[in-house]
Structure 1
């Protein structure tokens, strides 16, 4: 149904076209045995992971900081805790490693492995994990 008398499709027409295309894709995938993944699922799985900024990645490399899978899991837990508490910039301690986390972007902005004389500013919370 074209309501606006122009050459543009209505919202309902576009929804119908999108649904038809998705059904066709799903039918093709089910015939070939492939598992389909929606854009939303891909976006959600990517959004759930913590990222490292270029600066933090460089710090990890130059300071020879490596993390075990268990430490990475604890870091990801800390991201969830920081979100739950409403933090924006937080210090996350995992064993002897310190990370500054931008909670909104789920991004580690810097990493430190020697905290003996460290001073951390512009944070609104700390998570010791």
Structure 2
């Protein structure tokens, strides 16, 4: 009697079996890495200010309270829900150009500097009271 074993099943190369193991590791608790990453990015809240916006706020003596920041965040969320990318947000005699996707204020203009001003590269406007 022979000690050899015969099988009709092909043997998979080592590289393929490693790939199969790695794809199993990607999922943890039913969520892929990409799903977890996207959820973490969604949880990031708050508005950031570009260097240019910070200079404009300083030079124009525009001071934001926590209530103003909440209103600004609310306006950005509204614009985001409508699919806006770059938005003009007008509130309390100040206009902000905001990158909605990055949640970053690009510039700020108060009512005294707004006369005859043209806002370009925006796709939406949000007026807050």
Give me the TM-score of the superposition, normalised by structure 1: 0.65
Deviation at 1:66, TM superposition (A): 1.2
Compared with structure 1, are the counterparts of its residues 118 and 69 closer, same or farther at alpha carbon in structure 2 (3 Å cutoff)? farther
1:77-124 deviations in Å (ceiling 9; x for gaps): 111111222222221012021100122222211011234414232222
Residue 5 (structure 1) aligned to one of 14, 37, 42 = 14
Q: Secondary structure at the match of 2:125?
A: strand
CA distance in 2, matches of 1:93, 1:106: 16
The corresponding residue for 1:102 is: 99
What is aligned with 2:67? 70
Alignment match, 1:14: 22
Q: Label 1:8 to 1:106 Cα distance change in 2 as closer, same or farther (>3 A).
A: farther
Structure 2 segments unaligned to the other structure (5+ residues): 1-11, 30-35
- Indicate yes or no: 2:125 matched with 1:126: yes
Alpha-carbon RMSD: 2.9
- Aligned equivalents of 1:59, 1:89: Cα separation in 2: 18
Alignment deviations for residues 25-77 of structure 1 (CA, whole Å, 9 cap, x no partner): xxxxxxxxxxxxx866653332x322211111221223222101111011011
Q: Point out where structure 1 has 5 or more consecutive residues left out of the alignment.
A: 23-37
The match for 1:86 is 83
4+ runs deviating over 6 angstroms: none
